[in-house]
Amino acid sequence: MGPDPAPVLALGTDDRAAVEAALRRRDLAPRHRERLEMVKAAALGHDLGRIAAWSGRAPATV
């Protein structure tokens, strides 16, 4: 088996902090929260298929 693949999305420290701060907001629209959760999952290395499975979205949408 080869090396671990690169994350689907790479976030810098500042970007990751911005996503985390946005996710803590209580006034965040559900659709925006879902999108930010997808960004966070991709940055943590989850593949598109896995993100699509828990989000209920098609991989093309993710």
Residue 8 confidence (pLDDT)? 67
Tens digit of each residue's pLDDT (9 = 90 or more) over 17-31: 999 999 999 999 999
Determine what percent of the chain is predicted with pLDDT higher than 90.
65
- Is residue 44 within 8 A of residue 7, CB to CB? The reply is yes
Burial state string for 35-61 with b = 16 or more CB within 10 A and e = fewer than 16: bbebbbbbbeebebeebbeebeeeeee
pTM: 0.80
The residue extents of the domains of the chain are: 29-62
Tens digit of each residue's pLDDT (9 = 90 or more) over 6-62: 556 788 999 999 999 999 999 999 999 999 999 999 999 898 999 999 999 998 888
CA distance 52 to 14: 26
